[in-house]
Amino acid sequence: MAKGNKTAPTPRQAGGEVDAFLQRLAAAPVVRPAGTRGRLIFAMDATASREPTWDRACRIQGEMFRETDALGGLEVQMAHFRGFGEFAASEWVSRPEDLIRRMTAVRCLGGATQIEKVLRHALAESRAGRVNAVVFVGDCMEEDADVLCHLAGELGIRGVPVFVFQEGGEPLARTTFQQIARLSRGAWCRFDSSSARQLRDLLSAVAVYAAGGRKALQDFGKTRSGDVLRIARQLG
C-alpha cells in the first residue's frame, strides 16, 4: 500500500533524535527479578513498504541475543502485521536461530497498519507474565491515534515501555509514535535506509536494557562507540 513521505533526516536532525532517544531509554523503568531472563516483544510492520527493513532486521536479531548472553540471556517474541487484517505473534524464544527462522519465513504483504493489535497483544502478554519492553519498527500510521495513545498509557502504567523506531519522516506517524513512546515511558527514534548500523546498535542497547537494566546498559556503552557510548555518558 502507498505510504507517506519517507524523507530521510539530515545528520543534524538524526543526531538530536538519537540523543533524545537515549535519554528516554536511560530513564525508562525496567524490573527484572534476579535469576530470570529479560523479555522483549519485537514487533514489525510487515506491509509491502517494509520489506528491505525486514530483511535487515533478520540479520540484526542475532546481534541482539549475543549482547545479552552475559546478562543471563533474553527471551524474545516476534509479532508482525501485514495484508488484510493479518496479525501474528510467535512463542517466546531464547535462541537467535529460532527467531531468525520465524522471521525469514514471513514475506511482506501490502495492507493497512495494525498497530492497535500490537499494543493490545503487548498488554495481554504483560497480564499473563512479565514483559520488560516492546520494540516496534514501522514507517506509517493509518489508525485512530487516540486509541493507540490510550493503549500506550496502559502499557506505561504496567511498566512496559514501548521503543519505537520509525523509518523515514511521515509526519502523522511521527507525532503518534512520539506520543506512544512518551505515554508508555519508552522512547522514539527515526532512522533511514542508510543507517543499518545505527539501528543495530540502538536495538542492541534496548535488548541489553531489557535483560539487565541501567547498570548493564552503562557497562555495554563502555565497550562501544558512537550512539551507544552516549548512553553510558548520560547514565553516568
For 22-101, strand residue ranges (E) read: 38-45, 74-82, 86-89
Q: Which helix (H) or strand (E) holds 66?
A: helix 51-68
In this predicted structure, which of 6-20, 40-54, 108-122 has the lowest mean pLDDT? 6-20
Residue 55 to residues 28, 38, 109, 118, Cα–Cα distance (Å):
29, 25, 14, 20
What percentage of residues in the chain have a pLDDT greater than 70? 73
pTM to 2 decimal places: 0.80
Rounded average pLDDT over 193-212: 77
In this predicted model, which residue has the larger pLDDT, 79 or 9?
79
In CATH terms, the fold of domain 35-235 is Rossmann fold (3.40.50)
Q: Where are the domains of the chain?
A: 35-235
Are the C-beta atoms of residues 133 and 211 closer than 8 Å to each other?
no
CA 117 centroid distance within chain? 15
Would you place residue 128 in the very low, low, confident or very high pLDDT band (cuts 50, 70, 90)? very high
Rounded average pLDDT over 88-103: 84
Are the C-beta atoms of residues 206 and 163 closer than 8 Å to each other?
yes
Between the two ends of the chain, the Cα-to-Cα distance in Å is 44
What's at 21, amino acid-wise? Answer: F
Res 231: pLDDT: 47
Residue 42 to residues 11, 46, 48, 61, Cα–Cα distance (Å):
27, 12, 18, 10
Res 150: pLDDT: 96
With b meaning 16 or more CB within 10 Å and e meaning fewer, what string describes 149-176?
A: bebbbbbbeebbbbbbbbbbbbeebbeb
